[in-house]
Each structure stands twice: as C-alpha cells, then as structure tokens.
Amino acid sequence: MTLWFLLLVMTAGAVFAVLWPLGRRPAAPADGHDLRVYRDQLEEIERDRKAGHIGEAEAEAARVEISRRLLAAAERQPAAPLTASQFRRRAVAIAGFVLLPLLSGGLYLVLGSPGLPGQPLYARDKSLDAQPIEQLVARMEQHLESNPQDGRAWELLAPVYMQMGRFDDLVRARRGALTYNGETATREAELGEALIAQGNGVVTADAKQAFQRALALDAREPKSRYYLGLAAQQDGRTADAVKIWRDLLASAPSDAPWAAFVREELARLEDNPQQASPGPSADEIAAAANMDPQRRQEMITGMVERLAERLKNDGGDVEGWMRLVRAYAVLGERDKARSAASDARRAVGDNAEKLRQLDDLVKGLGLES
C-alpha cells in the first residue's frame, strides 16, 4: 500500500506541475488613473526633497499621506473578470488533475499485473530454461572471470559443481562464497563438506578445521557436528563418534530431515562397533595425506570394492548400500551408482522405510534415470 500511495502522490504532483499554468488567473490591473497620479506625486516629493525645496520632515509627512491614498485607491481597483477562455483553461486544469491519475491507475489495474511478485532478470528469461546446464555454468564462469567478487554467483555455482562432480571447482566456489559473502557457520560447514567430496569421502584435516570454525560461530550447526562424528569414526574412535551423534540427536528439532539418517548411523555403530567404520582407518588417513592423487584414488577405489564385496554377503545392510551408492557418485561412476541402487532395492525387499531411504538418496544425488 505504501508503494501505491507514493505512486499516486508522484503522479498527482507531475500533473499539478504541468497543468498549474492553465488554471492561473491574470493579476488585476493596478495602473488606473488615480494610482498613476499618486505615484507621480511621490516621485515629485522625492525630487523636491533632493533639490532642497522642502525639508526632510515635510517630505516624510507628504509621503505618508500620499502612500495612504495610494493604498486606498489600489483596494478600490476592481479585479478583472474571469473570461470564458480563462474559465475553460481552469476547468481543463482541474479535470486533468483529478481524472488523469484515476484513469491511469484504473488502466493499470485492468491491463497490468499489480499482484505479480518481482523477479530477477534471470528468472524472467525463459530462454535460460532451454539451455544445457554446461552452457549455463560456462556463462556464469565467464561472468566470474570479470567479476570475481560476486559472492552470490559463487554460491549459486557451488551446488551445480557438486551435481556435476567437479569437486575442485566446488571447493573454489565455497571459498569464494565465504570470502565475498561473509563468514557464517553454514558457509564454513559447506566448505568442509566440499573438502570431503574433494577428498573422496575422507574427512581431511582442512575439512575438520572448517567444521570447527563453523561450530565456533554456531555451536549447534548440525552438518559440522555430524561430519566431526564421521571423522571420529574414520579415525577409529567409535566411542567419540557415538557420543557426538547422540548429542546431535538430543538437540535436534523434532522435524529435522536428517535426524532419521543420523539415528540409523548411530544404531549401526552401537550394534556393531567393530565393523562400523565406512571409511579408512586413522593410519590409512595419515598415509593418504602423503599420497599422490593417483595412489590416493587407488586406495579409495579399493575400499569401495571391498564394501561392494561385503554387501554381496550382507544385502540387508541398507546403510552400507547407501554408502556404496554415495561412493560411486563421488568417484564419478554414476552408472555403477545407479546399478548399486538397483541391487540395494532388490536386497532390502519390501521394507518400505529402507526403500524410501534409498529413493531419497538417489534423488539427492541426481541419479534418477
């Protein structure tokens, strides 16, 4: 309503400024015979005073008397009558002042879309919907080459990089969002998650530091707490992982979408702590830090293959299947991820809850056929 009021006031002001001259009435003539005589007398008194014919006191008294007569004559001067032409001009001005805003506002209500919410340009450009995602990403990257400080663009690109499996670019985008949009617990946690993706599922030292920075900003940030529990699990500190996840669930909102997943991970740890670790051991992590990329990739691939082999004998382990699907997706082997998801569905049978978890994972990873 405030916007509408301001628009109406601005419109009325503009119309008033344009039409005001049409309604002006010419000033009444003030130069009748008596007025001219009195003005001439005032000028004559001033000349006589300067010539010394009369004194200052006499001149002042005469000026006062003639000025009084001049004002009286001016008040008696009749105002000029309003002509037909002037009357028409004033009528047009009043009609324009009143009717133009009403007509323009009414036309906009009928022909315009006052209830349509505002949209940024990219949301209105329907041609973007028809372009391949790679083309859109290339355009955004070109924009960032000349505008590297556009934190919003970095933030928009990050989830797309995750979807495309471009994890080095994902880390770069998350760092750009942090640098140019400001430090928040959520952005630090997202950077840590990106570093895990870059490390093929390993919670690296850099990722841990990002999660710790996030918790320093917000001690309740859930993603950081979950991954620090996963880090403890990968380090072989199962008891620490159990405690971290229990505390996380104890403070979780009742409708937290991630609570069921953490609860299942916790139950798996508590039921079988000796075989709970889905990732490398502490020694393997330390060794991986010093490996070249090729050897690190070989190590991760070997772990995934061992997990796949185990699931052939323990097909009911839905958490294991979900880890396998994620691992294949992280490695960029999307066909294997889809195949693993299909095997998992067959293995869990008619268990509706486990099937739902698998379907949610497949959708989240963008693996739908």
Question: What digits encode the pLDDT tens for the residues 84-128?
Answer: 666 666 666 666 666 666 776 666 666 665 555 555 544 455 444
Q: Decide which of 229, 249, 275 is a domain's last residue.
A: 275
- Residues 220, 295 within the same domain: no
Q: Is the pTM of this model over 0.85?
A: no
Question: Does 243 lie in the same domain as 154?
Answer: yes
Task: Determine the residue type at 239.
Answer: A
Q: Is 52 left (phi over 0), alpha (psi -120 to 50) or beta?
A: left
State the number of CA atoms in the 13 A half-sphere of 267 facing the CB: 10
Domain span at 325: 291-364
Could you tell me if 234 and 340 lie in one domain? no
267, 341: one domain: no
Q: Is 304 helix (H, G, I), strand (E, B) or coil?
A: helix
| Count of the separate structural domains present in the chain | 2
Q: Is residue 326 part of a domain?
A: yes
Q: What is the largest CA-CA distance in the chain?
A: 135
Please determine, for residue 276, whether its predicted confidence score (pLDDT) is greater than 50: no
Residues 159 and 261 in one domain: yes
Same domain, 304 and 334: yes
Mean pLDDT, rounded, for 299-309: 71
The reply to whether 65 falls in a domain is no
| Residue 163 is assigned to a structural domain of this protein | yes
- CATH value at residue 204: 1.25.40.10
* Bigger pLDDT: 8 vs 143: 143
Which token pair is 195?
């570093």
pLDDT at 234: 75
One domain, residues 158 and 254: yes
More confident residue, 82 or 257: 257
Question: Based on the domain organization, do 153 and 271 belong to the same domain?
Answer: yes
Residues 162 and 237 placed together within one structural domain of the fold = yes
Domain boundary among 224, 241, 275: 275
Structure tokens at 231: 């880090």
Residue 153 and residue 259 in one domain: yes
Is residue 187 pLDDT above 80, yes or no?
yes
Based on the domain organization, do 325 and 242 belong to the same domain? no
Q: Could you tell me if 218 and 333 lie in one domain?
A: no
Asked if the structure places residue 199 within a domain, the reply is yes
Q: What's the pLDDT at 225?
A: 94
- Structure confidence at residue 7 (pLDDT): 66
- Which of 17-31, 243-257, 335-349 shows the lowest per-residue confidence on average (mean pLDDT)? 17-31
pLDDT higher for 36 or 244?
244
Place of tokens 């324009």: 96
- Residue 277's pLDDT is 45
